[in-house]
Amino acid sequence: MAREERAMRTDVETRAGPDDHQSLRLWLRLLACTNLIETQVRQGLKAGYSTTLPRFDLMAQLDRAEEGLKMGELSRRMMVTGGNVTGITDMLEKEQLVVREPDSADRRAYRVRLTREGRRQFRRMAAEHERWVIELMDGLSRRQRDQLVELLGVLKTQLAHRTASPDPSNGKGANQ
Amino acid sequence: MAREERAMRTDVETRAGPDDHQSLRLWLRLLACTNLIETQVRQGLKAGYSTTLPRFDLMAQLDRAEEGLKMGELSRRMMVTGGNVTGITDMLEKEQLVVREPDSADRRAYRVRLTREGRRQFRRMAAEHERWVIELMDGLSRRQRDQLVELLGVLKTQLAHRTASPDPSNGKGANQ
DNA sequence: TATTGTTATACTCTATAACTATA
DNA sequence: TATAGTTATAGAGTATAACAATA
């Protein structure tokens, strides 16, 4: 009988040597924590809802956009190229969790929206997702979590400046 | 002429609402920071070395193992199933960056090692990788980085307990 | 001409499962 | 029987690039 292989990408920090630089250790630790949590979340989404993180992400974007979003807007928000959004939307539409509706102002465009079932399912997922996260984080004190949120906020701001737009002058817009 | 689509997975935090729970905000922020950095690193590895993070990871494991590692050991350390390690190793071997050598003690097994060229290239990559990371982190003060390393250490420890081995009694070992 | 979205293609990473050769 | 590693397969996610319809 076949062996069941099971593996989860989790602790990349094993590749840090003992005398590595502080920033490198920080990065590997950051990555390790993220992978540990992400693995759990992915498995939860798959086991409980047969869905994936990008699908969850797309639905999350729509959940906060009553009037729906155009494909290009989804693409930008998810930071993913247009073709991918088409693919994910196709799947979700086939499962009747989202619909494409014609955009009244631009006949090239659609507005993608959650269906009622889609919204219902997303809310359920999101609530459970939050419970997972809360549980995963509960080894930290409230104060420690606050500190982390704060420090990561600083880091994120710094990173955004460095990474956001390699060439903002290139305002080609949309799907890019 | 075709439009060049470019996208980087970066800021997932856009999916957080204003009144979300603290742990959820922490998680989304963690994910955002990691994605921002990871995107940069991936691009750097691709642009400068035509390689990927998993390949880098495998080479990093080997760099710290003078006598090489068996496939199963690589699999465990990288937290990836055996088939994947075979595939990545195949590619690296074809490029003469690693070699499989017969294991003297077990004729079923190989020891995978970096070639001289592989080690040379890895060291070069690793040095540049570290420079990228240092630069990405340098918006934080030394003290802030220390705090982060510390707090993430706590988090990681907690997570490891929760996630490490779903069933440690199952000592089937190896490729699993 | 430029933009919106789709299609087609290709590649990497991943898991599952069956298979082989040794142990 | 169990383990080491491979092979085969399948699927998701991603990017690139060309395309049709509309602006």
Sign of CA dihedral B154, B27, A163, B124: positive
Write the pLDDT tens digit of every residue in B42-62.
Answer: 889 998 999 999 999 999 999
Q: How far apart are CA A168 and CA A170, in angstroms?
A: 5
- Residue numbers in A near B123 (CB within 8 A): none
User: Could you tell me if B110 and B102 are in contact, meaning their C-beta atoms sit under 8 angstroms apart?
Assistant: yes
Write the pLDDT tens digit of every residue in B100-140.
Answer: 999 999 999 999 999 999 999 999 999 999 999 999 999 99
3-state helix, strand, coil in chain A (%, to 5): 60, 5, 30
Per-residue DSSP letter, A172: -
User: Could you tell me if A152 and B29 are in contact, meaning their C-beta atoms sit under 8 angstroms apart?
Assistant: yes
Write the pLDDT tens digit of every residue in A83-139.
Answer: 999 999 999 999 999 999 999 999 999 999 999 999 999 999 999 999 999 999 999
Distance CA B96 to C1' C11 in A: 20
Task: State the SS3 of chain B.
Answer: CCCCCCCCCCCHHHHCCCCCCHHHHHHHHHHHHHHHHHHHHHHHHHHHHCCCHHHHHHHHHHHCCCCCECHHHHHHHHCCCHHHHHHHHHHHHHCCCEEEEECCCCCCCEEEEECHHHHHHHHHHHHHHHHHHHHHHCCCCHHHHHHHHHHHHHHHHHHHHHHCCCCCCCCCCCCC
- Number of Cβ atoms within 10 Å of the Cβ of B83: 12
Across the interface, which of A14, A36, A134 has its CB nearest the CB of B23? A134
User: Could you tell me if B150 and A27 are in contact, meaning their C-beta atoms sit under 8 angstroms apart?
Assistant: no
Q: CB of A108 within 8 Å of any CB in chain B?
A: no
Give the residue-averaged pLDDT of A149-162: 89
Reply yes or no on whether the pLDDT at A13 is more than 70.
no
- Residue numbers in A near B79 (CB within 8 A): 7-11
State the pTM of this model.
Answer: 0.81
* Pair type for strands B98-102 and B110-114: antiparallel
Amino acid sitting at position B24: L
Q: CB of A86 within 8 Å of any CB in chain B?
A: no
Q: List residues bridging with A101 in a β-sheet.
A: A111
Question: Nearest residue to C11, CA vs C1'?
Answer: B52
Chain B residue nearest residue A9, CA to CA: B79
pLDDT band at A173 (very low <50, low <70, confident <90, very high): very low
Q: How far is A117 from chain B (nearest CA, A)?
A: 20
Reply yes or no on whether the pLDDT at A21 is more than 50.
yes
Q: How far apart are CA A139 and CA A119, in angstroms?
A: 31
Whether B83 sits with its Cβ under 7 A from any strand C atom: the answer reads: yes
Whether A85 sits with its Cβ under 7 A from any strand C atom: the answer reads: yes
Q: What distances in angstroms separate CA A104 from CA A13, A89, A101, B11, one per listed residue?
A: 51, 20, 9, 30
User: Could you tell me if B92 and B152 are in contact, meaning their C-beta atoms sit under 8 angstroms apart?
Assistant: no
pLDDT band at B39 (very low <50, low <70, confident <90, very high): confident
pLDDT band at A70 (very low <50, low <70, confident <90, very high): very high
Chain B residue nearest residue A132, CA to CA: B24
Reply yes or no on whether the pLDDT at A66 is more than 90.
no
